[in-house]
Amino acid sequence: MNLTRQLLRTVFLAIFVFATCSATPAAERLSIGLEVLATGHPDLVAGKKIALLVGLASYDQSMRHTADRLARATTIKAIFTGDPWPRKLIGSASGTKQIDALTQAPVHIIRDPLEKPRADQLNGAEIIVIDIQDIGIRFFHAVTLLAQFLELGKQAGIPVFVLDRPNPIGASKVSGPLLEVQFRSRFGVYPIPLVYGMTFGELALFFNKVFGLNADLTVVGMENYHRDVTYRNCGLHWTMPSEHLPDPESPLYYATTGFLGEMGIFSTGVGTTRPFHYVLAPWIDPDALISKLTVLNLPGVAFLPTTVRPYYGLFQQKRVPGIEIVVTDHSSYDPVVTGIAILHTLWTLYPDKIPLSNQTAAEGVDTLLGGSDIRTAIIQKKGMDEIRSRIRSSVSDFLTRRKQFLIYPEAQTP
């Protein structure tokens, strides 16, 4: 299908969503893309043979799995997932495949997002359907899988449908530097910011056009979704998309401290009941750290001194001092800048404890941030104002191009 027809299909569904978003009050029930497809546009897939890409949170609001919901009208030829499969698998007669016991479809578990799925694994499917609860963060594995399956659709010559879901951080928040091409990895393959401020469907449109994937793509949008609304306020049940994201606020904290944990020298709370809410290490003086951070006047956040005992992971079963991060105003909070400010301040206070100059030790930070520029700026004793300026400069072109692919209107500034 040529690009014009592809865009017409996308615009048709987008117009439907625009109308329902603008003509109904915010209290109206939100319908995710899966539900819109099943109830409003079943003809798009009815009677077709499909391949599914799903995740741990691929359920509708009645807690029916995407595979079960779509199996009523389609034949599921293959299931792909980047997560453990949540229900019973049985061996095939040949012993070479794992089969979902309920749908009888082969299940392919992708342990490395960079592992390219093969066209023969589609098992004769006529459509690829993607339904994953994304978290709005570039280094979440679903983002790389999205790119891989758009490429697979193009390679196999079959359409790709992305069923849209809310961005838990809110689809207006853009934060963090752009990925530099030389830092492509399983944690990100295309140059987008760490927090990209789009729904998964919008991101698919962006990838497909901007990076020339040119799949025959249709995004099935949501009804009654408002892009500034967080998941907590969407009225949806939170099903964990990953084992360390226990509640709807977890992605916002993961965007703040996820890259810090890669250094392996302080705990971010993984192993506690509140993953990513903390920065802990035996050598941290909480009061000194908070005093330095307070001077920076970071918006929408406060810091509390704490001592926490992780049940597993780094410092397990030891009471460790540090700080708790408390988001006080979601709209003004900048998660990545806050995380960078914490790293900057820790390095200022404890340069001998934080091996920023050791390339091997710092590799994880560079990979997740998408480049070495931030780490280098900290080593060079650049202030946070300059670091913010560098980040704004790196994402300016993205912010302009992003606007073309937004399905849901942005709030009008007075």
- How far apart (Å, rounded) are the C-alpha atoms in residues 251 and 168? 7
Instruction: Give residue 13's pLDDT band: very low, low, confident or very high (50, 70, 90).
Output: low
What mean pLDDT value characterizes the chain? 90
246 SS3 class: coil
User: Looking at residue 61, what DSSP letter applies?
Assistant: T
Q: Residue 373 corresponds to which tokens in the numbers above? A: 């520029």
- How far apart (Å, rounded) are the C-alpha atoms in residues 253 and 279? 11
Residue 413 has pLDDT above 90, yes or no: no
Instruction: Tell me the per-residue pLDDT of 160-216, one tens digit each, with 9 for 90 and over.
Output: 999 999 999 999 999 999 999 888 888 989 999 999 999 999 999 999 999 999 999
Backbone angles phi, psi at 160, to 5 degrees: -120, 125
Residue 61 has pLDDT above 50, yes or no: yes
Going by C-alpha positions, the residue among 12, 10, 8, 1 that lies closest to residue 218 is 10
Instruction: Give residue 93's pLDDT band: very low, low, confident or very high (50, 70, 90).
Output: low
The dihedral built from the CA positions of residue 200, 206, 209 and 211, taken in this order, carries a sign that is negative
Instruction: Tell me the per-residue pLDDT of 249-276, one tens digit each, with 9 for 90 and over.
Output: 999 999 999 999 988 899 999 999 999 9
- What pLDDT, on a 0 to 100 scale, did the predictor assign at position 359? 79
Going by C-alpha positions, the residue among 146, 75, 137, 131 that lies closest to residue 106 is 75
- How far apart (Å, rounded) are the C-alpha atoms in residues 321 and 51? 48
Domains of the chain: 3-232 (3.40.50.12170), 250-395 (3.90.1150.140)
Going by C-alpha positions, the residue among 331, 326, 333 that lies closest to residue 299 is 333
- What pLDDT, on a 0 to 100 scale, did the predictor assign at position 94? 58
